[in-house]
Amino acid sequence: MAEPAGIIRRIRAEIGDLEVPFLDTFLGADELSSYDLSETGVAEVTAKVTTAAPPSSVDLVADVDYVLDPVQGRIVLINPDYSPLHHGQTLIVRGATQGMFTDADLETYIGDAVEQHAYGRSKVTRYRDAHGFIRYDHEPLSLKTLPAVEEPLVAYLAAISCLWTLATDAATDIDISTAEGTFVPRTQRYRQLMQHIGDVTTGLQGRYNSLAQQLNVGLGRIEMFTLRRVSRTTNRLVPVFVEREYDDTSKPRRLLPPIDGQEYDDESGLPSPAFPGLWG
């Protein structure tokens, strides 16, 4: 059973987006109630106010003593005892940053990766019902039922989506060249990201394709289809049903494969000379 937290750790390791701890100290001066932290994209913090005379330390409670803006990395004191922070008081904030992507962002990428990687696949469970008949349960493959060997593949797909997001942001950068001869190749960041993403044979995309091909999973897996036959007497497609095990007593399940060739429809409106009902 795959856990989202474990896949998130894999993704952060793949793209180098690990959490970074920080510790900030602010001295009171009876002026400020809002303080900018040294990091942005804050995951969680613990804050306390200490005083020297008399020595004391008070742990602050979120939304009671302070309000945190995790995106901007700003803490605002709202308790009148500390707002503004008085002389002799020290605000100590300890926490960690979420990096470039929050856990919520990564969970969205993981959901997209699972939908692509497990598309068209299901987990089949064989059981006996209350009447003694053998039944087969077809459960669509999800993150909970994903085999452990395929967890890295989902992490690779999600990491590729993260890198594409960073590449989109870097695509707007332009090289800087000054009259003094200074040259800053800002577009190099975009090129390096695209090289790391790679194509079907190189980079992170190549790693995913290679492993997926060996396991025969993902959107590029080899599938076996059933050709549809057209009746020579009615010119209609013969119905196709899902193959079943010999001891499967459940009702047949009908398949409706897509029909191509709609671009050849006759739009003239002229009736067919064939008599109605003879050829369907």
Tabulate helix, strand, coil % of the chain (nearest 5).
Answer: 25, 25, 50
Distance CA 70, CA 64 (A): 16
Mean pLDDT within 192-204:
92
pLDDT at 188 over 70: yes
Looking from the CA of 125 toward its CB, the CA atoms found within 13 Å total 8
Q: What is the pLDDT of residues 10-36, one digit of tens each?
A: 999 999 988 889 999 999 988 889 999
What's the pLDDT at 11? 94
Among residues of the chain, what percentage have pLDDT more than 90? Answer: 44
CA angle 222, 228, 234 (to 5 degrees): 175
Cis peptide leading into 21, omega within 30 of 0?
Answer: no
Residue 101: how many CB atoms within 10 A of its CB?
Answer: 22
Distance CA 160, CA 5 (A): 18
Confidence category of residue 212, pLDDT binned at 50, 70, 90: very high
> What's phi and psi for 217, nearest 5 deg?
-130, 175
Mean pLDDT within 250-279:
72
pLDDT at 153 over 90: yes
Question: H/E element holding 67?
Answer: strand 66-69
Confidence category of residue 108, pLDDT binned at 50, 70, 90: very high
Mean pLDDT within 140-156:
92
Mean pLDDT within 70-94:
91
What's the pLDDT at 280? 47
Q: Which positions ≥6 away from 277 have C-beta within 8 Å?
A: none
Mean pLDDT within 62-86:
90
> Does residue 105 contact residue 113 with C-beta atoms inside 8 Å?
no
Interhelix angle 103-117/151-170, rounded to 10 degrees, is 120
Q: What is the mean pLDDT of the chain?
A: 88
Distance CA 243, CA 254 (A): 10
- The neighbouring-strand residues paired with 67 are 76
Confidence category of residue 266, pLDDT binned at 50, 70, 90: confident
Amino acid at 204: L
Amino acid at 98: Q
